[in-house]
Amino acid sequence: MVTGKTQAERAIRFAMLVIALAAIGGMLVGVLYWTTAAAGGALPARKIYLMRVAYLAGGLLILTVFLLGAVVVRHVASRAAPSEPRRRTEHVNAWVEAGRRLKAKHAPPVMPYEDRNTDRPPK
């Protein structure tokens, strides 16, 4: 049976996600700083390569900040919005319901020998 997450599990998952995104963001800031600093005194061919890496790191940093903001907004919104209380659904026995709905007159035969009203299979 699948149950909902408890408040503690959701808080731990949120904290882990925020910490992971913050660590990734920190690493990207380091890469961005290192590449822009190294590109200052580099040869022209190497400078182009370092600037491409810097642009890539900057783009990934923007994506990481966007994801971090979305996670925080979703977490705050889920805590602020009142949710309706959960209610149990009634148990339905699918086999009993299928038997109740079955119209035997209109059902096709399952096996060819069922047409003959005998219990013996055909030879």
pLDDT digits (tens, 9 = 90+) for 41-65: 888 889 999 999 999 999 999 999 9
Question: Residue 60 phi/psi, 5° resolution?
Answer: -65, -35
Residue 68 CA to residue 61 CA, distance in Å, equals 10
Whether 88 is covered by a domain: the verdict is: no
Range of the domain at 28: 7-80
**What are 104-120's pLDDT values in tens digits?**
777 666 666 555 555 55
Residue 71 CA to residue 94 CA, distance in Å, equals 40
Please give the tally of structural domains in the chain.
1
Whether 22 is covered by a domain: the verdict is: yes
Whether 50 is covered by a domain: the verdict is: yes
Whether 107 is covered by a domain: the verdict is: no
pTM over 0.75: no
What's the confidence (pLDDT) of residue 105?
A: 74
**What are 30-41's pLDDT values in tens digits?**
999 999 898 888
50: closest CA among 37, 63, 64, 60?
A: 37
Which helix (DSSP H) or strand (DSSP E) does residue 19 occupy? helix 7-40
52: closest CA among 67, 36, 40?
A: 36
What's the confidence (pLDDT) of residue 22?
A: 94
Whether 11 is covered by a domain: the verdict is: yes
